[in-house]
Structure 1
Amino acid sequence: QIAALAERAGLSLARAERTAAATVPAPAAGDSFNLTPRERDVLRLLARGWTNRQIAEELYISPKTASVHVSNILGKLAVGGRGEAAALAHRLRLFPDDLAASGH
């Protein structure tokens, strides 16, 4: 329907798509998972191998809240566990500053 409307109006969708692609920055790899800023904080610590209790202490939240965030992250990343989530974060280089600090 959109293509037909654009054609009737004499507009080129291909040109509009190229213009939009050139002006809109590509999302970072982690953004495509729709993680909230807090979930990104939790994932960063999870990727370091931290426990829920350690994450909770660092972020001033309860261990139960950390657990809920971890569960939400696992679902959004479509992985089966913490190790898989950490591996995915490392593979996608979601936290390059952490990799530089650890010498990877």
Structure 2
Amino acid sequence: MSYCRMQNTYHDLRDVEEHINDDDMSKDELSARENIISLCKRIIDNAVPADELNNNATKKKELEDEYDLLMHEKSGKTEAQQKEIEKRMCQIEEELNDITGE
């Protein structure tokens, strides 16, 4: 379950850490060991600091709120105003893509 994924995995990894160099592993265990080491390296390379995650979530929410507001403001505006609103909406979409990695 995702609500405790990190907590449960942390405890399992601590157990792995204690036994990472055991010399009585089967061939399958040795293969799994290499996979875990590779995975941990990828996690380290891809991990975003927690404070940045919080900042991204806050920024994403602010951008989504602004986008929704602009959608409602668009009606009843002049053509020039609508183009400016659409321009800003495109900028917001790009910023959201940067945040979400899409």
Higher helix share: 2
The normalised TM-score by structure 2 is 0.28
